[in-house]
Every structure is written in structure tokens, then in C-alpha cells.
Amino acid sequence: MTPQRGNDGSIDTRLQGDFPVVSAESAADLVSDDATVLVSGFGSVGYPKEVPLSLANSNRDLELTIVSGGSVGGEIDEQLVEANAITRRYPYQALKTAREAINDRRIAFSDRKVASLGDEVQYGGLVDPDVAIIEAVAVGKDWLIPSTSIGQTPAFVNAAPKLLVEVNSAQPLALQSLHDNYLPGKPPNRDPIPLTEPDGRIGSSRVEFDPSKLVGVIETDRSDTTYSFRDSTEDDQAIAVNLRKFLTEEMNRTPVFDDALHLQFGVGSLGNALMGELAEFDPDGRDVIYFGEVIQDGLLEMLDAGHIESASATALALSEEGQAKLFENIDRYGEDIVLRPTNISNNPALIDRFGVIGVNSALEIDLYGNVNSTHIRGTHVLNGIGGSNDFNGNSLVSICALPSTLKGGDISRIVPLTPHVDHTEHDIDVFVTEQGIADVRGCSPLERARMIVDNCTHPKYRQDLREYLDRVEEQDGHIPQDPELARELFD
């Protein structure tokens, strides 16, 4: 496939225009004590760093509402939290400091689906923004070029009355070759998104704005905090083998995949490991294309090996080694990688259009196929729902892949009833663990439960789960269950 390039041309200078270049401290002074702040960032990269640090160190009595596109780094979700500067947080976080403050209810947290967040901010009344703080590799009087993520940057820039831009010289200008910024029109007269191929280009490397919004530009060379992926485990490898088996059978089952497979993997070490392990997958002459949220190291390896044709995402969530490799070879990767706003990368209509096979993980699942992605024991949030709901609910085939146990086998991830549900029994088609595959499409609740127990649970817990089903099956009802017995067996 040949990408369609934007027609605005590339730039070779980071600062272009007549605008105020200010210190981070001066920029922080432009943020009111109780401001609602929209910040760039997704996958813990591409977020502003200097202004949040200055706010954290200001000794002001701050009560900020922070809205990000996805996860961000420690300058926001550690330093600002430790300064007691954040009172409300949307829509996702991934750091221990923020997580503890949320679970202690020192920060009011609302976990949101990321695909629709831009619309919620612009049109839905979620927040009334005061300022957007955006990281960029370059800025002009009425445009900016994002850095290592796009996330909700176009929507946030559009929604905010004031704009602060951090221009980061630690990020290469050549990142502009990856970007395809496209902001859908306003409902109810919104046109269909004109993307017909996953690696096509429908927008620009630039995000444009009203020049009167730009109140300050801050120069920085502070790098992103890169990912640390754990090594692939035996369970990861076994899950990958089972996933390859399912994909092979699915290719042979339906003509939808005669020409190409469009895959998505969730963020994190398991998704990264599965991408790396799928190097041995044989698509039998079909194109394999990635259409998802993040570019991770495993995806670069697949591109390098020629196992995938192209990759469309919203962020470069890479390790230090992976980021260095991409930066050093960005011209080559620019032919195959496209970064888009989240309301495009996670758009339900596009996920449906391309017939995506979505592969996401979870904390735990229950016997009837309900999935808990976010809350430990149903009470303590871990990170957030992120984009898993976008893909689980809209993929042609939705797969939940996870190890069957935690803590070296001491905890079963498959339980009679999960105390928190992020994705219902209607959202997931296939479950894959290191033990096997449960394709539950078309199954009744009890059929689904038996298949999950027999094919996906660890042998250590299989008999207990079978006995639970035997006992509740004696009850009436479409979905028989016994919460007290479930707690007795798996509390």
C-alpha cells in the first residue's frame, strides 16, 4: 500500500512565528489555581513536562483538574500528585502515586473510554477547559506538530481558550513524517471519516489553531520516560501459540480474511510479547496490518522482519532501546507507521470498516465471559479502561488473552463471578490463555461457562469451577449463579 502524504510540506525549524517564548515558571503563572487543564500525551509519551513541574514546585494552593488523552509521565501523575495539586483526573493513569491517591479518594477520578473523550471535551459537557498544555516538536503562529503521541491533541487544542506549547528538542523533527492529524467535524453534520486504507493519509502533520489562543511557548529538551517491558514468559509463549492456532483457523473459516488480517493488541507487556511471538505466524500470503492504539517494541520487530505491512496507532509507547531504534531510522519507519488522533485510531466505524481482530488482556474474567480490566477485587482501580472498550465492542473478532493465573499460580484469573465488569459477556468472542482457546460465539451462558472452564482454566482450579457450575446448574434461570458460594470458593 502507498501512503497518501499530506500536502502541507515538512518544516526544518522548531520555532516559526511571532509568539511569546516564556520560561516554564512564567507559563505556570498563566494557569489559575483551580484551572481545568487539558494535556497532550498517550501511552506515557508526548506529554508536557516543564510546565507541570513548575506548577508542582510553585508552592501554590492548587486544585487542578487534569484531562489527558491517555497515560502520562511522572511530571504529572507523580510530582503534581505529591504536591497535592490535582483534585480531579480524567480519563486514565498508570503510575503508582496517582493510583494510590485515587484509591484513597484524595483525587476524584473518572474512568472514560478514550475514543469518545475528544467529543466529550468539545461538545459533551464533561469539563469546561481553561488551558491546553501540549508537547510539540515545532510550532508556528497558528499551528503545531505533536511529538511522540497525538492522542486527543487536535480536540484539546480546539476546545481550550488558551494554549501553552512545550517545544521539545529531545524529540526529532522527523516525527512529523509519521503524523496524520484529522479532526472530525461537529455533530450532527459530521461527514464520514474518509480513511479507506489503514496506512492512508487524510490529514496533515500539523494541528492548526486560532493564533489568539497561543499565550506562551516553552522550550525544553526533557525526554519521555520510556517503557520497561518484562521478558516474554512461558505463559506468554503458550498464549501466542494458541493465538496463532486460532488466527490460522479463522483465516480458513471466513472469506473476510482472504486478502488481509487487521490486528490490534492492547497496551503493555503481554501485548508486546504477543506481537513478538507472532513472528512465527504464517498468514499464507495475506497482508498483516496493525490498526490499534500504540506502537510497541514487538511491532517494530514485526515491521523489521517484514511480518506486517503497516501500522496505524496514536502513540509510540516504546522502550529506551525501541525509541532509539525508531529515532535513528525514522525515515524508513515513516513509510510504514502512521500516528493519528485517538478519535481516529480508536474510531468504532473504522474498526468495523477494516474488520479488525482485537486482542486485549484483562485482570480477570468470570465463567460467563464478563471481563474485569480495571479494578482489583472490584474496589481498587489499577489503570483504567483506556481503549480496550473501543476495540472489544467494535472489532469483528474480539479476543481476550490472559494467563490463567497470577502470583505464580496462587490466584486464578478465572473466577465464578467478577466483582467489577468493564466488558460484558456480549463484548468478547474468544478467550485465550496458556491452557487453550474458548471460542464462545453463539454459546448460551452455561455452554460458554463450560467451554471457558474446560479450555482456559488452570488445572489447579478447574475442578472447583466445575463443581461450582454443577451446583448452580441445579437452579432456575438463564444465568444461574450463587454469589455466596463464589466467594467461598474464590475469595
Place of cell 484551572: 35
- CB contact at 8 A, 46 and 39: no
* CA distance linking residue 246 with residue 116, whole number of Å: 31
* CA distance linking residue 140 with residue 426, whole number of Å: 47
- CB contact at 8 A, 253 and 85: no
* CA distance linking residue 250 with residue 172, whole number of Å: 41
List active site positions: 293
* CA distance linking residue 137 with residue 220, whole number of Å: 10
- CB contact at 8 A, 28 and 134: no
Q: Where are the alpha helices (H) located in 254-347, listed in sequence order?
A: 269-277, 297-304, 320-328, 330-333, 342-345
Cα dist from 137 to 74, 149, 224, whole Å? 20, 11, 13
* CA distance linking residue 422 with residue 387, whole number of Å: 11
- CB contact at 8 A, 162 and 132: yes
Q: Residue 315 is placed in which grid cell?
A: 502513540
Cβ of 43: how many Cβ atoms within 10 Å? 28
- CB contact at 8 A, 265 and 292: yes
